[in-house]
Structure 1
Amino acid sequence: MATAMAATAAERAVLEEEFRWLLHDEVHAVLRQLQDILKEASLRFTLPGSGSEGPAKQENFILSSYQVKGVLTLQGDALSQADVNLKVPRNSQLLHFAFREDKQWKLQQIQDARNHVSQAIYLLTSRDEGYQFRTGAEVLKLMDAVMLQLTRARNRLTTPAALTLPEIAASGLTRMFAPALPSDLLVNVYINLNKLCLTVYQLHALQPSSTKNFRPAGGAVLHSPGAMFEWGSQRLEVSHVHKVECVIPWLNDALVFFTVSLQLCQQLKDKISVFSSYWSYRPF
């Protein structure tokens, strides 16, 4: 019995020493690694070559499908220019519309994701190299807070807002073009994962004498033909949907950095949990 107790005490002493090393050394090594990765992610949002001062660099993205062709210019988290040609299916008419020169369209998803990355970096740098973590619970609390910000940043890019058609009509984007968009067109722009997406909805008015059962469509990222809604005094139906998209390479980089950072946080949490499970174990 004495030998067994001595072995248990020796084992416990070794584990305590390993746990102290984990708290004093490995945790800070992981925090440094996370800071380096997230600073790289943050640089992607400021765009390469833009520097810390002055306006963000402009990037042009070409959108092309059979029906829609155009160029969107992204400057940081805003669309600064849009030039779009739409071939109308019903009569092969070619429509051209572009942003007014005094207008920009803010992509809130990019701005929010960048803000969450900045908050995660702030949390990581709030403990300097000399800070001593006292308990595993303290580390777990920090990792949970960082992971929350990273998950929110990733979700803002991977989960576009589900909007109703009246919300799209009221968003203000349709009023940014010159010449003005025809009343039978709606436009929406959003981020989906690493892609910049442009959707053009063609509409037609439902006549009061229409025998169609009017059912307003709810919120969706992408509405389908046949979706109905009410706008002003009119009831409208989507007749055609044209979606074009292109990849934004630096958003792809950012998503990879988020995934790697979340994995590092989880690995550190798992190591802490191994020790926690030992301390809570009591032999009969």
Structure 2
Amino acid sequence: MPQRSSTNGNWSFSPYTRRKHQRHLAPLPEAIVISAVQQKHTTPTDDDEGVPKVRTTMEAEKQEEFNLQKEFEWVLREEVHQLLKKLKFILIECAHRFPVPLYENEGKKTEKFILSVQPPDQLKAILTLTGDTITQADISFKLSKSPHQIQRTSITQDSPWKLQQVQDAANHLQQAINHIDDVDESYHFKTSDEVMHVVGNILEALQRGRLSLVIPKKKPIDELIKGRNMKSLTPNLSEDLAVSFYLQSHKLIIAVYQLTNIHGTMRFDSCQAEASINWLNEVLFMLSAGLQLCQQLKDKISVFSLYKDFKVGSRASSALSY
């Protein structure tokens, strides 16, 4: 508030305030100030943080592709030939089990078999199998049309019965081995397509060979009755009867059919007997092993086939006989 001066009678004002005196902070050290400024200007933004991550991901992908490329080259250079060599060994062992001349095996083998059912007078066959041919057989059977009469016939060496399935399977096996022989051991595969072509040919031949033994070709009964093999039987059977020999998996089977006419409707009765053949069991096992090995190689190469740019050097003229 205003106060009067005691000396000269003039009015004067003394400032009055309730504010507290301000405290001045000590200045920060220069090093701390500089560090704070640098940190402000170098603090990464969200966009900056993504750059190293992208760069790291790209480098990892390039490294992975590089490793796959090196593995691919090794597979083409080494593993393909190793597997083909192993596969050929299996198939040659398979060829040696066949009872027909195939890849320097012993040739035709002779075995005797008895095929029968219970009761034995319903159907029985005692036969000799030489290679892929039934050279001798004594067959007896009794079907429902004539329940009290046993019929007999036979196969002689003069008119043998050929099992075409054996020769078909042997031909397909020989073809698979030939596909392997067409690849020179020193040849360097350049692309996955080359390997897939070779493996595909081998796989197809082995599949056909196996199917020849596992799934017999079915014929209509009238075709069986008029077939060439029926003329091998002595004495000949009546025109309403048919006999068939075939392989199914590891078994040799004989089937007898009788065609009947019931009130204008044609039907047939049948009966069959079988015997197990050891060499067939071994052949099928080795064919399956060969197929599995082919499929493993095919699956491995298929992985590299996803990378279309994968190849070894420039594509040279192939050593394969396509």
Q: TM-score range by the shorter chain?
A: 0.7 to 0.9
Alignment of 1:42 onto 2:95: yes
CA distance in 2, matches of 1:30, 1:101: 44
| Larger Rg belongs to | 2
SS in 2 for 1:18: helix
Question: Which of 108, 111, 128 is the equivalent residue of 1:59?
Answer: 111
Aligned match of 1:196: 252
Aligned match of 1:135: 191
Please list, as runs of the form range in 1=range in 2, the aligned pairs for 1:72-91 lying within 5 A after superposition.
72-89=127-144, 90-91=146-147
- Cα shift readout 1:125-151 (whole Å, capped 9, x = no counterpart): 111211111111110111111111111
Question: Which of 259, 268, 271 is the equivalent residue of 2:300?
Answer: 271
Q: 1:60 offset after TM fit, Å?
A: 0.9
Q: 1:117 offset after TM fit, Å?
A: 0.3
Please list, as runs of the form range in 1=range in 2, the aligned pairs for 1:10-49 lying within 5 A after superposition.
10-46=63-99
Is the CA contact 2:138–2:154 (under 8 Å) kept in the aligned structure 1? Answer: yes
Question: Which of 126, 138, 154 is the equivalent residue of 2:210?
Answer: 154
Is the CA contact 2:243–2:254 (under 8 Å) kept in the aligned structure 1? Answer: yes
Residue identity in the other structure for 2:93: E
Pairwise CA RMSD: 2.3
Is the CA contact 1:113–1:157 (under 8 Å) kept in the aligned structure 2? Answer: yes
Is the CA contact 2:100–2:167 (under 8 Å) kept in the aligned structure 1? Answer: no
TM-score with structure 1 setting the length:
0.81
TM-score with structure 2 setting the length:
0.72
Q: 1:280 offset after TM fit, Å?
A: 7.0
Alignment of 1:242 onto 2:262: no
Q: 1:153 offset after TM fit, Å?
A: 0.7
**4+ runs deviating over 6 angstroms:** none
Is the CA contact 2:135–2:156 (under 8 Å) kept in the aligned structure 1? Answer: no
Residue identity in the other structure for 1:78: T
SS in 1 for 2:98: helix
SS in 2 for 1:46: coil
CA distance in 1, matches of 2:160, 2:289: 33
Is the CA contact 2:96–2:105 (under 8 Å) kept in the aligned structure 1? Answer: no
Alignment of 1:260 onto 2:289: yes
Among the aligned pairs, what percent are the same residue?
40
Is the CA contact 1:175–1:181 (under 8 Å) kept in the aligned structure 2? Answer: no
Distance 1:80 1:6, change over 3 A: same
Alignment of 1:122 onto 2:178: yes
CA distance in 1, matches of 2:276, 2:179: 31
- Cα shift readout 1:70-93 (whole Å, capped 9, x = no counterpart): 212211111111111223553432
Distance 1:100 1:276, change over 3 A: closer
Q: Give ranges in structure 1 of 5+ residues lacking alignment.
A: 215-227, 229-236
Q: 1:203 offset after TM fit, Å?
A: 3.5
Q: Give ranges in structure 2 of 5+ residues lacking alignment.
A: 1-51, 311-322
